[in-house]
Structure 1
Amino acid sequence: MNTIKKFIHYYGPYKAVFFIDLICAAVISLVDLAYPQILRTMTKTLFTQDKNVILHALPVIAASLFVMYIVQSLCKYYVTCQGHMMGAKMERDMRRELFDHYQELSFSYYSRNNSGQMMSKLVSDLFDISEFAHHGPENLFISLVKIVGAFIFLFFINRKLALPLILLVIVMFVFSFRQNAKMQETFMENRRKIGDVNASLQDTLSGIRVVQSFANEDIERAKFKKSNEAFLVSKRDNYHCMGSFMSSNLFFQGMMYLVTLVYGGYLIAQGEMQTSDLAMYALYIGIFISPIQILVELVEMMQKGLSGFRRFLDVMETESEIRDADNAVELTDVKGHVRYDHVSFHYSDDETPVLSDISIDIPAGKSIALVGPSGSGKTTICSLLPRFYDVTGGSITVDGKDIRGLTLKSLRSQIGMVQQDVYLF
């Protein structure tokens, strides 16, 4: 429920579209519900009248139904077009938030996470969220209107036949909710595995020059095959759950037709139901089963959307380890006197010291070179100055000001860096 509350927050800017979408969905459902009832009423009233009365009434009925279906078609257009646009705009908003948050996360986050996984969260996860954002509330609303409306009419037609159908529906929903828990796990695993595929692909393509230079293609193929096969296994488990879910619900729907035919036939034999009413019952059962099928599909869509949204939240709720202090000030009038005062450093997920009690004093205007073997800490010393990482002991000052008390933007805008591996945008 907490996840759903956070998801609902993104509907905020589009409340007008959302409520008009639901109104249109209600109109679509009510028109579908109205037709069998109109037919039943006409069969018992108008169609028992004289020929001239029937012929006189038919043009009025035709015009009324024509207007009704025109309105339904316009509502369907709005739901399909504007409803999808609402979902796409929510997807855009989430993608922008996620990208902005990626920009703010510290180097340690990127050290722990592969960029292929991050791209998967930014692209494929959010697409499924968009589909759920549009179809979820709309399909749920249409289904509830049709199910409740159909049941009301079924009770009006014959209460005795409606009671066993209610029991059957309750059993079906209990079974569906149990299956739902299994589907959640498999969809979440799908997300992780497709992220692994993206990660493997991104690594190989980004480093293709190195791969080919060292004739490393076979190793990369083996790595990709492993992640690709793991994704297939996760999909297999997913489809097993979906197969059980769909086939069980189809069985319950068949049982509704069985109960309607057998018990309805029994009631007709007992003189407690008319044959024409059983035909109307069959029509409403069709209307009743249609939203149940939509709800079944909605459960699958919901699992895909919410599993993607949970991965989205995992990133959005990750706070950057490097942030401005509450009383941070701008770095201005820079002279360039840099001092490392008894600096120590280790990574947050590893207590092994990388630097220990380092002191360096660099007067303004001086050029210095750090010389040492690979892994001795030269890059780490440089990375501490713009606060890509924070020191775990001691302090670093610029013109006598501790860099932890300066705003990140003003500090980094005063530092120029030429990396070993230059990335061209």
Structure 2
Amino acid sequence: MLIFKKLKSFYLPYKKDFIWSMLFLVLIAGITVVYPMILQLTIDEVVLGNRYDLVPWISLGFIAIMAIKGLSAFIQHYLADMFGIKSVFHLRNTLYEKLQRLSFSYYDNAKTGDLMSRLTADVEGFRFFVSFGFSEVLRFVIVVTASLFVMFNYSVSLTLVTIAALPFISIVVYKFDKDVHPAFRGIRESFGKLNTKVQENISGIHTVKALSKEAVEIERFTKSNQDYRTKQLNTAAVWSKYFPLMELIGNISVVVLIGYGGYQVINGALKPGELVAFYSLIWYILWPIMHLGFTINMFSQAKASGERLLEILEADETIYDREDVKNIKKITGSVVFDQVTFRYHNEGTAALQDISFEAHPGKTIGLIGATGSGKTSIIQLLSRLYEPTEGKIFIDGRPLKEYRLKTLRSEIGVVLQETFLFSSTIKANIAYGRPDATIEEIIAAAECADAHDFIMELPAGYDTMLGERGMGLSGGQKQRIAIARAICTDPAILILDDSTSAVDMETEFSIQQALQEVMKGRTTFIIAHRISSLKHADEILVLDNGKIVERGTHEQLVNNHGTYERIYHIQYQDHAAIMEKAVR
């Protein structure tokens, strides 16, 4: 029950629904035990005692009891469902909020499909037990206790003989729980992997088809599906092993009841009606105990789901607002990196080593280097998506930790190389970071990003709905909308991470010209592989294996006979030679 204790904050606030549901359940269980007593009265008093005058009263009483039970069952089920639905609504919201707060380091190892499985299948598994599992346990306790009470009133010796099998059933139930829980845990994990495989395939369907790898993907999915099937079959084997054994022990109890009970009836120690009632009552005990297997089944699934949900809820939030955070609402954008070293997992090779530089409002810093040289790591640290392993980062002379995350990130406009657009209108995508932006401000941002003209050519202009991840737009169009989104937030610091890689040279030039006005008064970081994007930067940092190996203006670096000069020759002189040869 430790799992449910840890999750109690999600269902205890709605305990009123649960308590009222349980009160009606007590009434239903009490009425259920009355049935055999009515049956005993009908046989012993009406049939054998020739008291047929009692038939109308017994009939009316039975109808009244049935009506009360039916109404009570409706209310009990409704309240139990309300309890589960409210609890899970709270739980699902909390899980989603937690996922929003978790840092990038958590998502480095997490799989999207598995997270989706936890927020859907695992949450539903937990809800089902909260709605019905708790009530089933209480129903079991009440019905068994009440049945035993009535049975002892009829015959103490017969009761003791018939319940002698209960310890054996209890042992089987205990072993069943021990075996079935890990089986259900395996099913949940396998289902998460299956979801991940489906999600990855759908997200990368263009790559799959472009490389004609459909057969390979089908084979991989089949392996994951086979693993899921194997886990389910293992669980079914556990169920098939224990449930018939419980039923066998129960049937043995019934045989003993009929044999010994019949002997008592023959000797006059027990009335025929009492034996019939006894037969019904023993099943009120045996069936709940055997049905306990279903309840344990439900409990094990909920427990496995709860463990997976707690893995999210208890995950460390490494990036958060400190208690002594300053309530600073605006920044100017002066950035200082002071001997910053960074490792993604605090082990292994450093992604950045001893990085130091300054960037002031109105200045543009260019970052260039080979893939994996540390360019993107610098901007991720600046946005405090990760914490530096060593050294400090300052904005306006204050350490990053003194700013609220919301304030810090709202003042940093980022355009990533891998553009992500939401399934919404173009207008909503541009205004995503600033929902209160006017249509004039949205259009102005689009014009700065050289996106206004192509947007107006679309069927609904700025109200055009985009498909998933911007489906329907070219890579360059998506990048220009992403640039407009960053500009629309009016940030103090603007970061362009290879943001024009998907556009042609002419469009790149147009965007750069438009951005010149936007960059005024802002601190701008440009990450690029094209030197043409960096030529006008106030300072260019050349990175290699996480270190700054060169720094200076374009003119200084071209004459420095280093890495930058080699890149320059590759992109310009070699290209010019090729073009000249082609002309000849």
The answer for the alignment partner of 1:85 in structure 2 is 82
In 2, are the aligned partners of 1:197 and 1:231 still within 8 Å (CA)?
A: yes
**Paired letter, 1:247:** P
Residues of 1 paired with 2:384 and 2:332: CA distance?
A: 19
2:187 to 186, 190, 204: 190
What amino acid does structure 2 have at the position aligned with 1:325?
Answer: R
Structure-2 change in CA distance of 1:8 and 1:161 (3 Å): farther
1:277 aligns to 2:274 (yes or no): yes
- Aligned partners of 2:132 and 2:50: how far apart in 1? 47
Amino acid corresponding to residue 377 of structure 1 in structure 2: G
- Normalising by structure 2, what TM-score? 0.69
In 1, are the aligned partners of 2:343 and 2:389 still within 8 Å (CA)? Answer: yes
Between the aligned partners of 1:276 and 1:301, the Cα distance in structure 2 is 37
Partner residue in 1 for 2:36? 36
Alignment match, 1:326? 323
Aligned length in residues: 422
Counterpart selection for 2:63 from 60, 66, 77? 66
Map 1:143-182; keep pairs closer than 5 Å.
143-182=140-179
CA-CA distance at 1:132 after TM superposition: 0.2
Residue identity in the other structure for 2:308? R
Structure 2 residue 12 is the aligned partner of structure 1 residue 15: no
Say which one has the larger Rg: 2
User: What residue is the counterpart of 1:260 in the other structure?
Assistant: 257
**Superimposed CA distance per residue, residues 165-219 of structure 1 (whole angstroms, 9 cap, x where no aligned partner):** 2221111112211221111111111111000000111111111112212222223
1:23-422 correspondence runs (5 A): 23-45=23-45, 54-55=52-53, 57-268=54-265, 272-348=269-345, 350-422=347-419
SS in 1 for 2:350: coil
Q: Which amino acid in the other structure matches residue 107 of structure 2?
A: Y
Contact 2:44-2:271 within 8 A present in 1 as well: no
Counterparts of 1:85 and 1:205, CA distance in 2 = 36
CA RMSD of aligned residues (A): 1.8
Question: What is the one-letter code of the residue matched to 1:346?
Answer: R
2: CA distance, partners of 1:73 / 1:269? 38
- Shifted more, 345-354 versus 298-307: the winner is 345-354
Q: Secondary structure at the match of 2:413?
A: coil
What SS class does the counterpart of residue 375 from structure 1 fall into?
A: coil
Whether the aligned pair in 1 keeps the contact of 2:102 and 2:318 (CA below 8 Å) is: yes
Q: Mean Cα displacement is larger for which, 163-172 or 414-423? A: 163-172
What secondary structure sits across from 1:368 in the alignment?
strand
**Alpha-carbon spacing, 1:349–1:152, altered in 2? closer, same or farther (3 Å):** farther
Output the CA distance in 1 between the equivalents of 2:9 and 2:413. Answer: 40
The separation in 2 between residues aligned to 1:423 and 1:261, in whole angstroms, is 72
- Letter of the structure 1 residue corresponding to residue 340 of structure 2: V
Q: Tell me whether 264-273 or 316-325 shows the greater mean CA deviation.
A: 264-273
Structure 2 CA distance for aligned equivalents of residues 88 and 293 of structure 1: 28
Structure 2: state its 5+ residue gaps. Answer: 423-584
For 1:123 and 1:335, how far apart are their aligned partners in 2?
Answer: 43
Q: Deviation at 1:139?
A: 0.9
Q: Distance in 2 between matches of 1:152 and 1:195?
A: 47
Distance in 2, Cα, partners of 1:278 & 1:49:
16
Residue 191 of structure 1 aligns to a residue in which SS? helix
Cα shift readout 1:30-60 (whole Å, capped 9, x = no counterpart): 1111021123234444556666xx33x4333
Q: TM-score, normalised by structure 1?
A: 0.94
- Three-state SS of the structure 2 residue aligned to 1:394 is strand
Question: What's the secondary structure of 1:416's corresponding residue?
Answer: strand
Cα distance, 1:109 vs. partner? 0.4
Corresponding residue SS for 1:13: helix
Rounded to whole Å, the distance in 1 between the matches of 2:213 and 2:30 is: 63
Asked whether the equivalents of residues 11 and 18 of structure 1 are also in contact (C-alpha less than 8 Å), the reply is no
The amino acid across from 1:5 in the alignment is: K
Which residue of structure 1 lines up, in the alignment, with residue 426 of structure 2? Answer: none
* Maintained 8 Å contact 2:334/2:361: yes
For residues 272 and 49 of structure 1, the distance between their equivalents in structure 2, rounded to whole angstroms, comes to: 17
Match of 1:3 in 2: 3
Give the distance between the partners of 1:331 and 1:380, measured in 2 at CA: 25
Structure 1 distance, partners of 2:263, 2:349, is 80
Aligned equivalents of 1:211 and 1:59: distance in 2? 75
Q: Report the identity percentage.
A: 27
Shift of 1:331: 3.4
Residues of 1 paired with 2:163 and 2:10: CA distance? 35
Q: Is the 8 A contact 2:158 2:257 kept in 1?
A: yes
Q: Take 2:25 and 2:50, find their aligned partners in 1: how far apart are those partners? A: 38
Deviation of residue 401 (structure 1)? 0.8
In structure 2, what is the Cα distance between the partners aligned to 1:333 and 1:35? 74
CA deviation vs aligned residue, 1:142-175 (integer Å, no higher than 9, x gap): 1111111111222222211211322211111122
CA distance in 2, matches of 1:285, 1:50: 27
What residue ranges of structure 1 are gaps of 5+ in the alignment? none
Match of residue 510 from structure 2: none
CA contact (8 A) 2:83 2:131 kept: yes
The answer as to whether partners of 2:335 and 2:395 remain within 8 angstroms in 1 is yes
Rate the CA distance shift 1:256–1:213 in 2: closer, same or farther, 3 A. Answer: same
User: 1:366-422 deviations in whole A, cap 9, x for unaligned?
Assistant: 112101111111111111001110001111111111112221111111000111111
Shift of the 253–235 alpha-carbon distance from structure 1 to 2, 3 Å rule, reads: same
Find the residue that maps to 1:173 and give its secondary structure.
helix
